[in-house]
Amino acid sequence: MAASTGPDKKYLDPKTLTKISRLDIVARLVVEGFVTGLHRSPYHGFSVEFAEHREYVPGDDIKHIDWKVYGRSDRYYIKQYEEETNLTATLLVDGSESMRYGSDPEGPTKLQYACFIAASLAYLILRQRDSVGLVTFDEGIRKFIPPGASPSHRNLVLDSLAQIEPAERTSLSPVLHTMAERVKRKGLVILISDLFDDPTEILAGLRHFRHRRHEVIVFHVMDHAERHFPFESMTKFKGLEALGEVLCDPSALRQAYLNEVESFIGELQHGCRGDRIDYVPVDTQTPLDVVLTSYLATRAGMKLS
């Protein structure tokens, strides 16, 4: 039998998922309150209470379509219930051109790493019978899959991740503000991006989600070379997102570059901390299971302390 080449094989690393699933703290975090106070315990017997409508997306169970609403609006809407919506999480994945970069030919690009993170978190959230949605973006929103928890929803999310083709520039702030208005039900918002945009505007967009009472996590994905600038000899640097090329001696600008990177990261960290947003720096050279397990364990300690 031929090996699977579908989206599960591409983005769900068994080693990562096994390590994460072994953490007892993850079950307590995600199932019993990954985000304290945002969703009911899943252990509430047979009581099923209507929560809200959302638009139908391919893969939803048609038995939950509200035909009365269809008769009035000629559009399909799904009934959601409290038991089905303990936690609503929305993944925002940056698919801009700068995410194509990867300094190691044998390693993942920033986009591939971001998709690994998104796929793993979607797997965990859906495994706990919570809902997950996906937004892919560059200078605008390219795809929006509303949160769902059906068995087929994971494939819908993974297929969409596999289809990202980075080509356009990053424009984070308008995307964040737009999604803060579109995501009505308070929940968990997870941004996965290299954040190559104005930090002040990014933080303003993230603050919009906090104003809407969402819990926010930011995975700041940077390539190891972007973070540490290991170049030695004369190098031609090709700018992504229409920034052109420059040939220079790396030693002449290394310190200035590193100072700028530290300032950039420091501003984002400080701003996120001030708005009670979890900021997770990610180096693409760090194994994914290490990044996720250490973050979830740290978060668990904060929530349970």
Tens digit of pLDDT for each residue in 166-207?
Answer: 887 888 999 999 999 999 888 999 999 999 999 999 999 999
- Give the pLDDT of residue 77: 76
Q: Considering the domain boundaries, does residue 1 fall inside one?
A: no
Q: Considering the domain boundaries, does residue 136 fall inside one?
A: yes
* Higher pLDDT among residues 113 and 17, named by residue: 113
Q: Are residues 116 and 132 in the same domain?
A: yes
Q: Considering the domain boundaries, does residue 97 fall inside one?
A: yes
Q: Are residues 11 and 98 in the same domain?
A: yes
pLDDT at 149 over 50: yes
- Give the pLDDT of residue 267: 96
Q: Are residues 261 and 190 in the same domain?
A: yes
Query: CATH number of the domain that 291 lies in?
Result: 3.40.50.410
**Which range marks the domain in which residue 282 is found?**
7-41+86-304
Number of domains in the chain: 2
Assign 8 a pLDDT band (cuts: 50, 70, 90).
low
Tens digit of pLDDT for each residue in 90-99?
Answer: 999 999 999 9
Q: Considering the domain boundaries, does residue 2 fall inside one?
A: no
Q: How far apart are CA 54 and CA 163, in angstroms?
A: 24
Q: Considering the domain boundaries, does residue 199 fall inside one?
A: yes
